[in-house]
Amino acid sequence: MANSFFKFKQFVVHQDLAAMKVGTDGVLLGAWASALHVKDILDIGTGTGLIALMLAQRNHAAQIDALEIDANACEQARLNFKQNEWMYRLRVIEDNLQHYSRSASKKYDLLVSNPPFFNNALKNECQKKALARHTDSLSFQDLLHGVKLLLQPNGLFCVVLPADEKEKFIHLAMKEGLFLKNILLVKPTPVKQPKRVLMEFSFHKLEVSEHIMVVEEFGRHGYSEAYKELTKDFYLAF
């Protein structure tokens, strides 16, 4: 059973109400996304509010909207937002992306998402966890179309996905006029293939910058210097 809260250096994330708990994917995205020098940020599928909180810590001026379809997760995010100094820059929006992208009165400089990504997989018995983890509620096509509608012309979209979904997602993004700009391939250990991929897209077709990062370079909990450097402002251990 997951702990009811996860403590970071500058905030605590309570997770008893949300189906999806704090995980490495969200931490990586929150630490890696291009959050500096932007004014308006949207976290798509915020869950506990983890990524929104990380971006609020990194950017002391941005207004951050946190979009979430699940009522319990919305309540969880609101509670987490209220417990820190950035609460007035954080707003929870209870809606799905398909509707919000058509009705929103603003566009964003940065969109981030740790989206549902299990395609055609056996559903979890917990319906809410299944909703959060599977693409049935938000397909890649719907996600990318929503991004296209909500992103400023010079804005950026950052996402974390399983590495084996990379090519499919890049192809679908191009259909929406979104082009890969930066990519980070995340390897669990030096000898394993990348398990996750962090990608940054924009409306401008530029040369792609590609990097590889190993998480555990020196055995179990033997984290690489690159991983520690990326996450040092958040994890208590670093």
Q: Which tens digits make up the pLDDT trace of 58-83? A: 999 999 999 999 999 999 999 999 99
Question: Residue 188 above 70 pLDDT?
Answer: yes
Predicted confidence at residue 2, as pLDDT, reads 61
Exposed/middle/buried for residue 235 (C-beta within 10 Å: 0-12, 13-18, 19+): middle
Q: How confident is the model at residue 97 (pLDDT cuts 50, 70, 90)?
A: very high
Alpha-carbon gap, residue 86 to 8, rounded angstroms: 15
Alpha-carbon gap, residue 218 to 123, rounded angstroms: 35
Q: Whole-model pTM?
A: 0.91
* pLDDT tens per residue, range 115-172: 976 444 444 445 444 444 434 568 999 999 999 999 999 999 999 999 999 999 999 9
Predicted confidence at residue 208, as pLDDT, reads 97
SS3 147: helix
- What sign has the CA pseudo-torsion 12, 15, 17, 19? positive
Q: How confident is the model at residue 8 (pLDDT cuts 50, 70, 90)?
A: very high
